């Protein structure tokens, strides 16, 4: 593709990006026949913008509503948005996340993402696999733990994110969502925090 007429090449590459929601990883573009030099040239010409290392987007596309989550999801497709980032997505925290927190299965290679700031947590077995919901954000699939699974995760990792964050999340969950006691109990068992969560659930729910 890189040997074609520059104008034709640009049009073909833009059409390729449009078919993939305007955003592609370098590896995806190369697999589709785009030479890396072509990507760099279109970037330098302002046709493409670099969202993160190895991730390009059509510069004339509408602004992303969720740029950080989409960027990290595309760079780490196996990851799942978790903990404070998931709380923020579900509007269950007053905190403003300063990093994107994602879960990966234990043993997975951590993503090399310079921007946005990203923090990886390694989950095992059912603790990783359970409660994953797929959301379409800016035309892309983003994996996020459900509100109930996120609450259980927050109690499990309370020493890292703060017990006050988990307790606030339960209060906001009661105020803003339909309480799913069965799901809360199930995920508490999976995350082995049933005894820790019980008094807070009884007091708030």
CB 84 within 8 A of CB 104: no
DSSP 8-state code for residue 146:
-
Distance CA 203, CA 15 (A): 55
Q: Where are the domains of the chain?
A: 6-58, 67-204
The percentage of the chain sitting over the pLDDT mark of 70, rounded to a whole number, equals: 95
Residues 6+ apart with CB under 8 A from 152: 184, 187, 188, 190, 191, 193, 197
More confident residue, 189 or 37: 189
Q: Is the pLDDT of residue 194 over 90?
A: yes
Q: Tell me: pLDDT of 16 over 80.
A: yes
Q: Does the structure show a pLDDT above 70 at 70?
A: yes
Distance from C-alpha of 69 to C-alpha of 43, rounded to nearest angstrom: 22
Residue 75 in 3-state DSSP?
helix
CA distance 147 to 129: 15
According to the model, what pLDDT value does residue 97 have? Answer: 86
Fold held by 67-204: Beta Polymerase; domain 2 (3.30.460)
Q: What's the confidence (pLDDT) of residue 150?
A: 98
Percentage of the chain surpassing pLDDT 90?
50
pTM score of the predicted model: 0.77
DSSP 23: E
At 195, is the pLDDT very low, low, confident or very high (cuts 50, 70, 90)?
A: very high
Instruction: Evaluate whether 191 touches 130 at the Cβ level (below 8 Å).
Output: no
Buried b (16+ CB within 10 A) or exposed e, 66-101: bebbbbbbbbbeebbbbbbbbbbbbebbeeebeebb
Q: How confident is the model over 174-193, as pLDDT tens digits? A: 999 999 999 999 999 999 99
What letter would DSSP give residue 124? -
């Amino acid at each position: 593709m890189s040997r074609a007429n520059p104008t034709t090449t640009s049009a073909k590459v833009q059409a390729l990006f449009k078919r993939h929601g305007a955003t592609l990883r370098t590896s995806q573009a190369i697999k589709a026949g785009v030479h890396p030099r072509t990507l760099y040239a279109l970037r330098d010409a302002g046709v493409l913008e670099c969202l993160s290392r190895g991730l390009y987007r059509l510069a004339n596309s509408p602004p992303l509503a969720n740029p950080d989550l989409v960027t990290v999801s595309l760079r780490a497709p196996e990851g799942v948005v978790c903990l404070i980032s998931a709380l923020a997505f579900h509007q269950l925290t007053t905190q403003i996340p300063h990093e994107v927190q994602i879960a990966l299965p234990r043993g997975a290679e951590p993503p090399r993402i310079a921007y946005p700031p990203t923090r990886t947590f390694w989950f095992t077995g059912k603790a990783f696999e359970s409660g994953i919901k797929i959301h379409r954000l800016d035309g892309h699939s983003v994996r996020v733990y459900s509100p109930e699974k996120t609450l259980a995760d927050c109690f499990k990792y309370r020493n890292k994110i703060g017990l006050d964050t988990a307790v606030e999340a339960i209060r906001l969950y009661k105020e803003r969502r339909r309480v799913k006691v069965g799901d809360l109990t199930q995920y508490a068992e999976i995350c082995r925090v049933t005894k820790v969560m019980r008094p807070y659930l009884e007091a708030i729910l």
